[in-house]
Amino acid sequence: MKDAKVLIEGLRKEFDHNVVAVDGIDLHVEEGMFISLLGPSGCGKTTTLRMIAGLEKPTSGRIVVDGQVMSEGHTVVPPEKRGMGMVFQSYALWPHLTVFENVAYGLKLRRRPKQEIAERVMSALKLVNMADYAQRNSTQLSGGQQQRVALARALANEPSILLLDEPLSNLDALLRETMRFEIRRLQQSLGITAIYVTHSQEEGLALSDIICIMKDGRIVQQGVPEDVYRRPKNRFVASFIGVANFLEGTKQKGGNAALFKLVDGTDIKVSGKSHRQVADGAKATILIRPENINLVWEKSDQSDFNFIPVRVENVVFTGNLVNYFVTSPATSETLRIQSTPPIKAHAGDELFIAFSPEDCVILED
């Protein structure tokens, strides 16, 4: 493992009345990495970011940046001396200042020479394609332009670490996607370390080298986005990051492809890489992603695929995808299948779903 740019050990934050916001987080962030803290509202992700920034004092634990202790016990380095830039959800631009003056604000507080301020501000504005708006008042900008200015302001101080707290949540869907790629492009071109907070699974998957899924103040799973998506540990992670289908089964026997009996007596094979080993006779929850399921009209005895009879209850066309919602005696839950157009079945049709044993993942709960 490479040396940590940011090292967090046992980080905990309690507010009044014993409310635990962050409960013993450990995190190792390598230089140049883009890491996302991803989770629902109230999971502790923003509080964690604020403690890294120095805006909140931890109850316990330590934060180390480039080998220097930022927070441990009575040692707390103030935010302005941590060498970090932060982009907030609210943009926090001064309405009475121009774009140039907003970006220059932090540099002026640090009493940098005028020439250096001018050079850094214009360089940062060029990075976000806002140099032509330098003398415009911030109130004359669109939401996307304001977010670019907020990003430029953070970059103007040439931080070693960029902290971003749900910076795209106030933008419309199309602009969010554009800005998402813009932030990733800048982070990679500058080689800066970034820690990003979001509740959007799409942002977390698209932006990150590593994602950390948080719940109740703890990191419940972290890893490369594709690995976390394909091999979630439990129902919470599986449901939070992507659309999930669950089957309940009892293990009949092991081997390269374990055999599970579903509630209606249907047998399915499971050989996907999982975090859990299941004993014969034990019950388990099995995950299948919607894109790994096919709709077929006939069951094939020559195929290695699993087949389950289903009835189509609803079909939703979204342009690039068709979503089929189906029911089956094999499960009490409605299953969801996703495929590309054209539409292959309609409400009321009775057919089969087919899926590979390798796409089945056994969950820990």
Per-residue pLDDT reduced to its tens digit, 13-71: 999 888 999 999 999 999 999 999 999 999 999 999 999 999 999 999 999 999 999 99
**pLDDT of 176 over the 70 cut:** yes
Q: What is the pLDDT of residue 3?
A: 77
Q: What is the pLDDT of residue 171?
A: 80
CA angle (314, 317, 321) in 5-degree steps: 115
Report the CATH number of the 6-235 domain.
Answer: 3.40.50.300
Q: What is the pLDDT averaged over residues 189-201? A: 93
Q: What is the pLDDT of residue 256?
A: 67
- Token pair listed for 114: 């005028």
pTM of the predicted model, to two decimals?
Answer: 0.90
DSSP state of 134: T
Taking the domains of the chain in order of start, what are their residue ranges? 6-235, 243-362
Question: What phi, psi does 74 have (nearest 5°)?
Answer: -85, -10
Grade residue 122 by pLDDT with cuts at 50, 70 and 90. Answer: very high
Q: What is the pLDDT averaged over residues 160-164? A: 93
Residue 204: name the closest of 316, 66, 40, 2 by CA. 40
- Average pLDDT over the chain reads 92
* Top-ranked range on mean pLDDT: pick from 180-184, 187-191, 215-219: 215-219
Distances in Å between the Cα of 290 and the Cα atoms of 159, 253, 266, 273, 295 are: 41, 26, 20, 18, 11
Q: What is the pLDDT averaged over residues 238-251? A: 94
Beta bridge partners of 325: 314, 336
**pLDDT of 255 over the 80 cut:** no
Distance CA 181, CA 152 (A): 15
DSSP state of 359: G
Count Cα neighbours of 21 within 13 Å in the Cβ-side half-sphere. 20
**pLDDT of 2 over the 80 cut:** no
Grade residue 205 by pLDDT with cuts at 50, 70 and 90. Answer: very high
Distance CA 363, CA 218 (A): 19
Distance CA 67, CA 299 (A): 60
Residue 35: name the closest of 169, 225, 215 by CA. 225
| In the chain, % of residues over pLDDT 90 | 73
DSSP state of 137: B
Between 138 and 163, name the one with better pLDDT: 163
Any residues with CB less than 8 A from the CB of 175 and at least 6 apart, and which? Answer: 143, 144, 168
**pLDDT of 181 over the 70 cut:** yes
What topology does CATH give the domain 243-362? OB fold (Dihydrolipoamide Acetyltransferase, E2P) (2.40.50)
Distance CA 113, CA 216 (A): 46
**pLDDT of 1 over the 70 cut:** no
Is 328:309 a contact under the CB 8 Å cutoff? yes
- Token pair listed for 81: 């001396």
The distance from CA 126 to its chain's CA centroid, rounded to whole angstroms, is 28
Cβ count near 115 (within 10 Å): 8
Distance CA 170, CA 327 (A): 37
Write down the residue that tokens 């302001």 correspond to.
153
Distance CA 271, CA 294 (A): 18
Between 257 and 304, name the one with better pLDDT: 304
Per-residue pLDDT reduced to its tens digit, 268-322: 999 877 777 888 899 999 999 999 999 999 998 778 899 999 999 999 999 999 9
Between 277 and 225, name the one with better pLDDT: 225
Q: What is the pLDDT averaged over residues 191-206? A: 93
Q: What is the pLDDT of residue 175?
A: 82
Between 92 and 63, name the one with better pLDDT: 63
